[in-house]
């Protein structure tokens, strides 16, 4: 069982391949993600870990009986549409490989250790990122979550039922949270920070504030040939102007990011003037005020553009999370145990960022040679992945070597 993180990833390299987009499309409770959950359960079984799903569809594999002050590691197995092989699965595979390494070192944990797989971290199917950890911590109202709908009109409640879960029981899980003494997530870096620092592994300091907003423009559906240019209320036009506004406004706020990665004209026919158009804004910045400022300015520009075209605009906030600073005490301990590893911030959101509001949380990043992520070109060299496993095993070994009230 010494296959390492890259060996484990090789075992799932065909699951959820996306022939149209390239890369992988693995979304919460879909066929590919269910296959990956099955893979994870088998891998955990093989290691004698006790696997159970919580009420919110997150999977937990326990080394030792579940109990308070456990050291928890893990990540997610779902992807963005057409995503890379490392975002999420590297953290899960590294956690399993770290367990192997600790066993090879004859390590006996003195407190419970768990590997967790969070459900629908990317929000690629139901639109809300970190859905499993948000449900676990009560960061989303259960009845609102149950009604979330995927692109085919299936609700989260229906998808969870199909996966053998009871959607009536989703929501904050105090018992599961009480088990967590601390959470350490390993993740491929989504940026070139470690390349510039010439280091294979680093520790995360903070995450930008970030959220998602859906802007729907309502116009008048009509015929592309029979409708004179002067007689149109085409919602795609203000949507397009909003894309340009997002770029301009994102550039004007220092350190901010504003992205439109998804734009959907409805009904979406080549010879059809759309009746409505949905556009999703992903906005991030260092703090709440800067993020809100970006969103307010983009929304104002969208409103003006809609009015010019005689369209209506509806804006819905689909998710929001303030900036996260990871626990300094835990990071200090990890830094001392790992020696000379750099610490760096990230613009990407993670389950660790959601859990940070509840328990001490830390993240380890593994170098990404191009910095590309959320795309098929995402990569980490095998040697760096194994350096990540060794670092994670060292951290987990240290944190599970005491029986005190807290793991560090």
The residue ranges that bind Zn ion (CB under 5 A) are: 87-88
179 contacts 114 by C-beta, under 8 angstroms: yes
Of 184 and 298, which CB lies nearer to Zn ion in the complex structure?
A: 184
Cα–Cα separations (whole angstroms), residue 217 to 195, 230, 266, 309 = 42, 19, 10, 10
Q: For the beta carbon of residue 315, count every other beta carbon within 10 angstroms.
A: 14
DSSP string, 156-219: HHHHHHHTT--GGG-S--HHHHHHEEEEEEEEE-SSSHHHHHT-SEEEEEEE-EEEEEEEEEE-
Of 87 and 384, which CB lies nearer to Zn ion in the complex structure?
A: 87
CA torsion through residues 387, 351, 246, 26, sign: positive
Q: Minimum distance between the CB of residue 389 and Zn ion, rounded to whole angstroms?
A: 17
DSSP string, 83-126: B-SSTTHHHHHHHHHHHHHHHHTT---SS-EEEEEESSSS-TTT
Of 189 and 234, which CB lies nearer to Zn ion in the complex structure?
A: 189
Of 111 and 350, which CB lies nearer to Zn ion in the complex structure?
A: 350
Q: Minimum distance between the CB of residue 89 and Zn ion, rounded to whole angstroms?
A: 9
Q: Minimum distance between the CB of residue 349 and Zn ion, rounded to whole angstroms?
A: 8
Of 88 and 124, which CB lies nearer to Zn ion in the complex structure?
A: 88
Name which of 405, 351, 408 is nearest 67 in CA terms: 405
Of 129 and 219, which CB lies nearer to Zn ion in the complex structure?
A: 129
Q: Minimum distance between the CB of residue 385 and Zn ion, rounded to whole angstroms?
A: 15
Name which of 36, 84, 82 is nearest 57 in CA terms: 36
Q: Minimum distance between the CB of residue 87 and Zn ion, rounded to whole angstroms?
A: 4
Q: Minimum distance between the CB of residue 378 and Zn ion, rounded to whole angstroms?
A: 10
Of 240 and 372, which CB lies nearer to Zn ion in the complex structure?
A: 372
Q: Minimum distance between the CB of residue 350 and Zn ion, rounded to whole angstroms?
A: 6
Nearest-angstrom CA–CA distance, 318 and 325: 23
């Amino acid at each position: 069982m010494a296959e390492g993180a890259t060996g484990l990833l090789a075992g799932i390299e065909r699951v959820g391949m996306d022939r149209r987009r390239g890369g992988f499309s693995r979304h919460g409770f879909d066929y590919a993600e269910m296959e990956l959950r099955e893979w994870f359960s088998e891998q955990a079984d093989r290691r004698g870990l006790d696997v159970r799903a919580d009420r919110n569809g997150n999977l937990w594999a326990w080394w030792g009986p579940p109990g308070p002050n456990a050291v928890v590691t893990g990540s997610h197995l779902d992807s963005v549409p057409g995503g890379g092989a490392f975002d999420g699965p590297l953290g899960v595979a590294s956690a399993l490989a770290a367990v192997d390494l600790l066993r090879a070192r004859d390590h006996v944990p003195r407190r419970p250790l768990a590997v967790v797989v969070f459900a629908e971290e990317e929000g690629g199917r139901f639109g809300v990122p970190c859905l499993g950890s948000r449900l676990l911590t009560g960061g989303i109202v259960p009845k609102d979550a149950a009604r979330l709908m995927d692109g085919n009109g299936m609700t989260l409640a229906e998808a969870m039922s199909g996966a053998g879960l009871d959607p009536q029981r989703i929501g904050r899980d105090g018992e599961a949270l009480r088990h967590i003494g601390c959470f350490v997530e390993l993740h491929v870096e989504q940026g070139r920070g470690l390349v510039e620092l010439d280091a294979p592994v680093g520790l995360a300091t903070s995450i930008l504030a970030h959220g998602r907003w859906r802007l729907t423009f309502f116009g008048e559906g009509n015929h592309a040939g029979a409708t004179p240019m002067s007689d149109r209320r085409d919602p795609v036009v203000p949507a397009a102007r909003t894309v340009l506004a997002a770029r301009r406004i994102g550039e004007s706020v220092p350190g901010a990011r504003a992205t439109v990665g998804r734009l959907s004209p409805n009904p979406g026919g080549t010879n059809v003037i759309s009746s409505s158009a949905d556009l999703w804004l992903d906005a991030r910045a260092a703090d709440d005020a800067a993020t809100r400022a970006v969103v307010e300015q983009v929304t104002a520009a969208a409103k003006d553009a809609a009015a010019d075209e005689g369209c209506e605009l509806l804006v819905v906030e689909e998710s929001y999370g303030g900036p996260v600073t990871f626990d300094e005490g835990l990071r200090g301990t990890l830094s001392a145990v790992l020696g000379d590893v750099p610490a760096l911030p990230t613009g990407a959101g993670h389950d660790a960022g959601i859990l940070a509001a509840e328990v001490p949380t830390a993240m380890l990043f593994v170098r990404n040679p191009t910095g590309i992520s959320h795309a098929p070109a995402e990569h980490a060299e095998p040697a760096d992945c194994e350096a990540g496993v060794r670092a994670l095993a060292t951290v987990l070994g240290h944190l599970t070597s005491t029986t005190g009230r807290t793991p560090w």
